[in-house]
Amino acid sequence: MIYVTGDIHGTIDIRKLLKNNVTEKITENDYVIICGDFGLVWNYKKEDGKERKWLKWLNNQRWTTLFVDGNHECFPRLNSFPVKEWHGGRVHEVRPKVLHLMRGEIFEIEGSTFFAMGGASSHDRGPAKGDTDAVIGKSWWPEEIPSDEEMEYALKNLEKHGNKVDYIITHCLPTMYQGFVKQGQFPPDKVSEFFEKVNSIVKYEYWYSGHYHCNVDVTRNMSVVYSRIIPVGMPVRNADIIMGIPKYRTGETVLTMNGDEPALAMVLKVEPWGPVLKRSDEPMYEITFFGDDFSEKGIMIKESQIIEKSLIYEEEEEEDIDA
């Protein structure tokens, strides 16, 4: 079985892999793919004790960990690991069971083909924030953006495979879908424009990305994954509930039921373990409905009562105004 999850940012978001009720089903023959921002090759000087500890932990797990790079990696160190052929493509072997899927490679795993293409633009540091002198080579590296050569190699490799793969694994999305998920907060860039081209010429069964720190199905076969671990081919709305790790975040728009009708609501507050002094077996959310029922004080609902995260409220509202 092959599973996919979102950014772990070193130790910051690795806790999803520590949940026994999540990982107990993963066997020694399985794979877990991380959609970028692996973050355990981060210290710009050398591998430190924290990295060593957690890389050892991953290497000792039943499953094999695979990852594409995001924008939060120490690229000089990552690119210094031994390059090996693995399942039809090239990988950096960080540990025997921790492998970096190199850019533009296509792998065959359990009878399915996977196109891997890491890289993304940083929006929290580096040139985007105007603080290049302080961070270049320490917490930001220009290699986060794939080179022209890497992009050309990727397109030629896809062409060799008839521009058809089963799965695409990236850190960021094509420009159109990135704008949809982030509501215009992330401007188009070289990587997202490259993925626009990939999306237009490649036939695929499912596309997974990380980067945006949310769990959302963008289309019927494209999902952003963050705090969930799901089998490839599954939309994130079908992911298991995990106590302590909520699927939704404050400020997000979600679809739930208001009486007998589905309705859009805003998440006002998140209780990962349920409300204090009240028993709950899943995360809970304080929400308020849009429209006539909108209120600064909301109602509490369980995660299982939310149908999915919604990206359409602002778009629908604009259409109503134009009409």
Residue 264 to residue 189: CA distance in whole angstroms: 31
Q: Are 61 and 99 in contact (CB under 8 A)?
A: no
* Mean predicted lDDT score pLDDT of the chain: 91
- Domain range holding 35? 2-238
Residue at 231 is within a domain: yes
Which residues are registered as beta bridge partners of 101?
91
232 shares its domain with 259: no
Residue 208: C-alpha distances to residues 224, 226, 303 (Å): 6, 10, 23
What is the count of structural domains for the chain? 2
Residue 242 to residue 227: CA distance in whole angstroms: 9
Q: 155, 121, 163: which is closest to 141 by C-alpha?
A: 121
Residue at 246 is within a domain: no
230 shares its domain with 136: yes
Q: Judge whether residue 315 has pLDDT over 60.
A: no
pLDDT at residue 277, as a whole number? 61
* pLDDT tens-place string over residues 261-281: 999 999 999 999 887 666 778
Beta-sheet strand order (sheet of 112-117): 105-109, 112-117, 167-170, 206-209, 222-224, 216-219
216 shares its domain with 299: no
Residue 302 to residue 281: CA distance in whole angstroms: 9
Q: Are 33 and 230 in contact (CB under 8 A)?
A: no
Q: Judge whether residue 77 has pLDDT over 60.
A: yes
Residue 14 to residue 39: CA distance in whole angstroms: 10
pLDDT at residue 322, as a whole number? 35
* Band of residue 92 on the pLDDT scale cut at 50, 70, 90: very high
95 shares its domain with 169: yes
Residues 88-100 have a mean pLDDT of: 98
Q: Locate 108 and state its tokens.
A: 């065959």
Most confident of the following: 135-144, 146-155, 244-253: 146-155
pLDDT at residue 316, as a whole number? 40
161 shares its domain with 305: no
Q: Judge whether residue 296 has pLDDT over 80.
A: no
Residues 185-206 have a mean pLDDT of: 96
pLDDT at residue 25, as a whole number? 86
Residue 25: φ, ψ to 5°? -85, -10
* Band of residue 124 on the pLDDT scale cut at 50, 70, 90: confident
Beta-sheet strand order (sheet of 253-258): 299-302, 284-289, 261-271, 253-258, 306-309
20 shares its domain with 163: yes
Residue 2: C-alpha distances to residues 26, 76, 194 (Å): 9, 29, 26
263 vs 132 pLDDT, higher one? 263
pLDDT at residue 71, as a whole number? 95
pLDDT at residue 123, as a whole number? 86
Q: Are 284 and 301 in contact (CB under 8 A)?
A: yes
Residue 91 to residue 99: CA distance in whole angstroms: 6
Q: Judge whether residue 298 has pLDDT over 90.
A: no
Q: How much of the chain, in percent, has pLDDT values that exceed 90?
A: 77
232 shares its domain with 295: no
pLDDT at residue 294, as a whole number? 66
108 shares its domain with 221: yes
* pLDDT tens-place string over residues 214-257: 999 999 999 999 999 999 999 999 998 888 889 999 999 999 99
68 shares its domain with 109: yes
Residue at 248 is within a domain: no
32 shares its domain with 175: yes
The last residue of one of the domains, among 176, 206, 238, is 238
Residues 102-115 have a mean pLDDT of: 98
Residue 121 to residue 103: CA distance in whole angstroms: 15
* pLDDT tens-place string over residues 154-168: 999 999 999 999 999
Q: Judge whether residue 135 has pLDDT over 90.
A: no
Q: Judge whether residue 69 has pLDDT over 50.
A: yes
